[in-house]
Chains A and B, each alone.
Chain A
Amino acid sequence: MFSRIPVSALLGMFVTSLFLFAAVFAPWIAPYPLTEIVGGVWEPASSQFWLGTDNLGRDLLSRMIYGARTTIFIASMATLLSFTLGSVLGLTAAVIGGWFDQLLSRFVDLLMSIPTLIFALVVLSVLPANLITLILVMGILDSTRVYRLARSVAVDINVMDFVETAKLRGEGRMWIVFREILPNALSPLVAELGLRFIFQVLFLSALSFLGLGIQPPEADWGGMVKENKDGIIFGIPAALIPAAAISILAIAVNLIADWVLNRTTDLKGGRSGH
């Protein structure tokens, strides 16, 4: 089956799985512990510290690896939440329509009218700072985008004859949403999944950079950019390494998402998964 996958997608898969591997096995592959000061401040890359050390003299590679774990875990959880919430509500709103759709859609408009970052900053500074709150806030805010997409796709599918047939058969809403509409709405949603995941990574990084995401001494890429940003004026690249990791992950995931989108929207219909 691998012969049918384009090189770009293979590359994306390779890079993404590398990151995932690092994230899952962080404690075993990181050369040094997360918070231990092992060298001088901002030491350059050497055989001892592959990526150099950070602003406190901690090993940058180890913090990158642990950072991958935190960043990818939180971003995945938030994406999962935003997708489940956004698509279930979006599909249901499209099928039920009427006041239910109006109420939900206007509420989503309300949420979307407030800039996400500012909204998150306000909410996070009021609520207790822990992982659950962070994931909830990120997931709920992002679910508005998924809701919009899912609803607009489902509105088109909802008027197709096969949905009408199901309604005439007397099927309940659960069957119509999950068996008739969802399988057909899946391909745009899956393609969006990659994109949303990356936005979550960026969102988390922005929050951490502003000091409201992951709290030190825990590591995440956005926070690491923040910790090392002062080095840039001295020509020290420590801040650029986590930033580069964010962009590489973004590109890699999107290469996969592109391929998934191409593969599922071809003209072959139901059997495109083979």
Chain B
Amino acid sequence: MTDANDTLLQVDGLCIGATVYPPDAKPHEIAIVDDVSFSLSTGRVLGLIGESGAGKSTIGLAALAYGRGGVRITGGSAVINGRDVLAIGRKDLRDVRGSDVCYVAQSAAAAFNPAHKLIDQVVEAALAKGDQSKASLHERAIELFRTLGLPEPDLIGNRYPHQVSGGQLQRIMTAMALCSKPDLIIFDEPTTALDVTTQIDVLAAIKHAIHETGVAAIYITHDLAVVAQVSDEIMVLRHGKTIEHGNTRQIIEQPADPYTRALVNVRTIDHPEAPADGEPLLAVSSVTASYAGSSEQVLRNVSVELRPGQTLAVVGESGSGKSTLARVITGLLQPSDGQIRFNNRLLPPALAGRTKNDLRELQMIHQMADVAMNPRHTVRTIVGRPLEFYFGLKGAAKKQRIAELLDEIELGPEFADRYPAELSGGQKQRVCIARALAAQPRLIICDEVTSALDPLIADGILKLLLELQRIEQVAFLFITHDLATVKAIADSIAVMYQGEVVRYGTKTQVLTPPYDDYTDLLLASVPRMEIGWLDKAIAGRRMGSAGN
């Protein structure tokens, strides 16, 4: 299958270290990447997969002989076209970077200079080499724009970064990498920040461009279903070590290592739907809302209901108004029209008008647990404050209750004295859940609570939420863009699109055909853990994505 002669990149025994400064111990060295070896032939795509901290980006950047701040490449070699990039000098390295190897970063918005036209930035690196004229490079850039399926390929380069959508910007960044005809491109989570419906287009464009140009690529992501669509082989990493390395079909269909198996089988929670009868706990009726100083309606005539102890999932992509709906329900934003009933009484629209008991019964968990907790408070203060504030608990009673809550979220009482910075992403989100539970609410609004987490960790959080729902009989309003999450936990579903609810009903109703066009697009865009899904999905679509 691969000929040893056309090996493009040969990485051997790569070791990368960094110094850590733990608060209560001496600074010491840790290995971020530990003895990783692989080879890549011309025109092949290698997928690097693993959770955050697995060392995937670090390995990708090491192929450019680049170590992020504080990181040192401590051993091994990375030979590209016969040159060991880890051993050559700065001048030769300049030669390799941007011409032999290019890099596509996760956040295209942060990688472009907002003050320059896109096309000038696309050709910049190739132009700096000086062997091609600006006009011929512009031609090549336009050709690449066409290959990547960008609208108006002749003209789009004259725009500035803020004038194109996120998905387009990501494709233009791919064009930038391809422009100097590199032998190898490193894609570092190029679609992670995009909506599912946009991700599928960008993914298809990248796959097409890789095939057209015959470039080799390293594709870094945490999403196995995504990498299965574009790569020829996959390497699974964990804690800087290679767990498993094989061709894509083998990894997806016959994973050998238990960790890989867990990744393949993620999101298989089964949640039977509860019957939608009885009095609703929360009834949002005909709510319309817009932000101050703007006449644009972010929510239009939204009506949903949620029964006690059940889960309503609100699904949609960015800009669909789902987070605004949460803000209206919590009282952070006053609706211009419509009303909200909670517990069979009318909820005052403004936060200031609500009673302490209203506030207690309606809790919220944010997407980014890092910023949802005061970094200067310990877990004890964070979880203990609602107990003190709502129930006046003090001293031993409070301590006892904090321990119970920490126990409920499957963390021990020893976590009480930690600061948020000393917790992992999943632990932080658990503490936020404990804080919400401390108020003994009847409804918790969960705003994308798992989307910043690794798949396995997210699974753990979802299982915990379901378990807590069973014990505490609390209702969840679950805001998410991820249909896999919805399938796992929802009793009823509301699909939102451009500020309106386009489909609403029980889980079975919403997920049973016939679909409306948008729901169809949304469902078809969710990457599936099967080879060839991308081509089928693109072929079977009825509607283009909004972010395109």
Residues of A bordering B, CB below 8 Å: 160-162, 164-165, 167-171, 179-180, 183-184, 268-271, 274
Contacts and interface: CB of A to CB of B under 8 A. Distances in A.
Contacts of A165: 364, 366, 372, 435
Given A168-B359, A170-B359, A270-B376, A161 B421 contact: no
B38 interface: no
The 9 closest A-B pairs by CB, nearest first: A269-B421, A270-B419, A183-B376, A161-B372, A170-B359, A271-B23, A161-B366, A162-B374, A161-B371
Given A162-B371, A168-B330, A168-B332, A270 B389 contact: no
A160 B378 CA distance: 17
B419 A269 contact: yes
A58 B372 CA distance: 63
Contacts of B371: 160-162
B359 A268 contact: no
B372 to A, nearest CB: 4
Nearest to B22: A268
B204 interface: no
A146 B246 CA distance: 60
Nearest to A184: B376
B61 interface: no
Contacts of A169: 359, 385-386, 389, 439
10 contacts: A161-B371, A164-B332, A168-B332, A168-B351, A169-B439, A171-B389, A184-B376, A269-B375, A270-B376, A270-B422
Contacts of B373: 162
B366 A270 contact: no
A99 to B, nearest CB: 15
Contact of A167 (B351, B356, B360, B439): B351
A164 B366 CA distance: 10
Interface in B348-395: 351, 354, 356, 359-360, 363-364, 366, 368, 371-378, 385-386, 389
**Interface size classification for chain B:** 20 to 34
A168 B435 CA distance: 12
A184 B375 contact: yes
A270 B421 contact: yes
Contacts of B420: 269-270
Interface of B: 21, 23-24, 330-332, 351, 354, 356, 359-360, 363-364, 366, 368, 371-378, 385-386, 389, 419-422, 435, 439
Contacts of A167: 332, 351
Nearest to B366: A161
Contacts of A160: 371
Contacts of B359: 168-170
Contact of A270 (B330, B332, B378): B378
Nearest to B372: A161
Contacts of B422: 269-271
Nearest to A159: B371
A97 to B, nearest CB: 12
B502 to A, nearest CB: 28
B497 to A, nearest CB: 26
Nearest to B421: A269
Contacts of A161: 366, 368, 371-372
A23 to B, nearest CB: 33
A165 B372 CA distance: 7
A229 B282 CA distance: 79
A271 B332 CA distance: 32
B419 A271 contact: yes
A160 to B, nearest CB: 5
Contacts of A170: 354, 356, 359-360, 389
Name the residue among B356, B364, B375 with the largest chain A CB count within 10 angstroms: B375
Nearest to A270: B419
A183 B377 CA distance: 9
A205 B386 CA distance: 51
A94 to B, nearest CB: 16
A153 B378 CA distance: 22
Given A184-B375, A271-B419, A271-B422, 17 more contacts: A162-B371, A162-B374, A165-B435, A168-B351, A168-B363, A169-B386, A170-B356, A170-B359, A179-B377, A268-B23, A269-B375, A269-B419, A269-B421, A270-B376, A270-B377, A270-B421, A271-B23
Chain A CB count within 10 A is highest, among B419, B435, B439, for B419
Contacts of B21: 268
A164 B24 CA distance: 32
Contacts of B385: 169
B351 A270 contact: no
Contact of B372 (A162, A184, A270): A162
B434 to A, nearest CB: 13
Contacts of A271: 23, 419, 421-422
B28 to A, nearest CB: 15
Nearest to B363: A168
A162 B21 CA distance: 26
Contacts of A171: 389
A195 B330 CA distance: 43
Nearest to B389: A169
A135 to B, nearest CB: 31
A13 B31 CA distance: 38
Nearest to A160: B371
Nearest to B447: A161
A269 B24 CA distance: 13
A274 B22 CA distance: 11
A180 B419 contact: no
B374 A184 contact: yes
B287 to A, nearest CB: 18
A167 B330 CA distance: 10
A27 to B, nearest CB: 42
A270 B377 CA distance: 7
Query: Which of B24, B356, B377 neighbours the largest number of chain A CB atoms within 10 Å of its CB?
Result: B377
Contacts of B330: 168
A66 B386 CA distance: 53
Contacts of B354: 170
Contacts of B378: 270
Contacts of B331: 168
Which of B24, B372, B374 has the largest count of A CB atoms less than 10 A from its CB? B374
A161 B377 CA distance: 14
A168 B364 contact: yes
Contacts of B351: 167-168
A160 B385 CA distance: 18
A164 B419 CA distance: 19
A274 B24 CA distance: 8
B546 to A, nearest CB: 27
A184 to B, nearest CB: 6
A167 B373 CA distance: 13
A164 B377 CA distance: 15
B21 to A, nearest CB: 7
Contacts of A183: 374, 376-377
A22 to B, nearest CB: 36
Contacts of A168: 330-332, 351, 359, 363-364
Contacts of A180: 374
A160 B370 CA distance: 10
A49 B32 CA distance: 64
Contacts of A270: 375-378, 419-422
